[in-house]
Chains A and B, each alone.
Chain A
Amino acid sequence: MKPVRKKRLQTVLLILVTSALGSFLIIRALDSNLDFFYTPSEIFLEEIPENKRIKIGGMVLESSVIREKTKISFIVTDYQGSISVEFDGIVPDLFKEGSGVVVLGYLKDKTIIAEEVLAKHDENYMPPSIDIEK
């Protein structure tokens, strides 16, 4: 390779390395400041103010769902810790006992008052018949 091109190649690599480093630092900084995502076992380890909107993710505990008119309450668990959630509204179709859920809301008296309940689905796709055979 000609010396001029070698120099340019070095410049290209330098651009890549510095921008990767820069974004790595930004992401690290964001991770420690902006992540309001908690798992049910983490949530009581920290002091969370009532007016701070948080996100928790986990599984809907089996036979914990109680429906009363438009209100629904259930327990979110990560099988190490758990927290109860109250929600007034429509939950998505994929909301099921034993499946993944993400809840956005406020912590009040050890309960999450949810503003939004989102259902999580995984990366597995298969026809229903195969599920029965398993």
Chain B
Amino acid sequence: MRKLALSDDILLQVEKPARYIGNEVNSVMKDKESIAVRFAMCFPDVYEIGMSHLGIQIIYDMLNRFDDVWCERVYSPWPDLDAVLRERRIPLFALESQEPIKDFDFLGITIQYEMCYTNILQVLDLSGIPLIAKERTWGHPIVIGGGPCAYNPEPIADFFDLFYIGEGETQYRPLIDLYRQCREGNVSREEFIVRAARLPGIYAPQLYEVSYNEDGTIKAFTPKRDDIPATVTKEIVTDLTNTYYPEKPVVPFIKCTQDRVVLEIQRGCIRGCRFCQAGQLYRPVRERSVDMLKDYAIKMLDNTGYEEITLSSLSSSDYSKLEELVGFLIDSCREKKVNISLPSLRIDAFSLDVMEKVQDVKKSSLTFAPEAGSQRLRNVINKGLTEEVILNGAAMAFQGGWNRVKLYFMLGLPTETDNDIRGIAELSNKISAVYYETVPKEKRNGKVQIVASTSFFVPKPFTPFQWAAQCTKEEFLDKAYKTRKAIMEQLNQKSIKYNWHEADASVMEGIFARGDRRLCKPIMEAYKKGCIFDAWGEYYRHDVWIETFEECGIDIAFYTTRERGIDEVFPWDFIDCGVSKEFLRREWQKALNEQVTENCREKCSACGAARFGCGICCVERDYS
């Protein structure tokens, strides 16, 4: 039996010891003597969050298919164990072998949101790996980052040896081959990093230098040597049907956020909402074949024993064979007593019919994401959802027995006025009015309940809004109060509940999202002052962060509320995500002119992603 890294007395005193023992169904054990490369895959947050992430399951499965690699997992120890590990000087370990991360060849860290940056330092620190990449030797793992935040890796550039820009399926094999060749040939770590930087999609931050203008903006971002590329192009899988996907995902013992089989049906999105980073980063839309998905659905259910399955994508309603797939799942799941949990689908006759078949109507609520309260602002953000569509969908649903509606909006979008904010209240009111108009009194199942939620808009790199000014905390809160006041003035205000998010974390997210390398210092300092788990309200210490930025001479407004010049060099400009800066500039201009852009299925808008030669870009469009 495996020896655990933690002694019984520790496991008995920490919350949820199952987070640290590994041994889950489908976790992979290998003989470490018979493999050449040990890879620790990390999600820098607590186990239950990290285990719910599909990307790690895909890469874990892929790397473990390689005979010469053993991929294990590691997550952030919760603060209770964090304290014990520090006090007793126990090195952070991987779940499978229970052996120290420090002895691994690679530590791969997926970076899914900005607020996990201090947790990255926690993982490095507890592992005994120098936080600063250039202080590492061959005695330490190669620390490589990936995931959406790697598309602007600059705020954490000092902490990583390499970043992998794009989808993980394509370049890990060449990278591992290169690594083995360098280790076996006694090549220096520095030379390995240089050679790795020549692989497609791989960025080695220490090999680039940045100079600044007097106003603090970037003057130039250039490679320090002429044998590495000036631009790093993202990697993508061109054929999503014939590629890696786990047939036997790891099944945790404890209940996780995502406690079900996850079937990723497509990547990318045709919609091009202008606030949405994922919609640009993952272009072009590529579907997996429906036959592959049917096959995997059955295999994954059989191999895990899960009692629920769900679909994953940015916009499932846009999957071309959705009816066929959902029909198949309904039939085979009924037989297996498996529940289908549907992602939010566009509300129409088809989705209502499906929801009725798979869900308890009384329990479920409808979800609309208009994102903005007025048609004018929805045009600005290119959200192709009209009031008519929302009200028709709601009417159909109310007639079908639903009486709860969730609405998602953003506050602080570019060009937003008080009229747009009032539109949130008015739209909520109109939806509740539709209920009373369409459902006769005797058929009503109680009152209609509308829950309107707003989040604060944070401009992200590689979106048309990357030039936009973010609101201040005061402006955000003022907008939330205005929304609340406007809702209170509505006729059906008693049917409308309003929620809004905290503003502090949105400000912080905004700093990191469009930040540059000068932020490495305050991130390190805040960590040293004890900041970890910033994504968790109970651990987030806003005052410490603000104080640290001041001490480091960082002007928050420079990163958040400043509107960028149209020709400004951005910290992430060296990355080519397929979508050109020229296209984003056009989209920014169209946004200001309140003009919408067609979705990829209607018309190609020449964003630049067509050069990958796959997905929707290669599909004949019907312009009739």
> Does A pair with B?
no
Q: Which A residues are closer than 8 A to B by beta carbons?
A: none
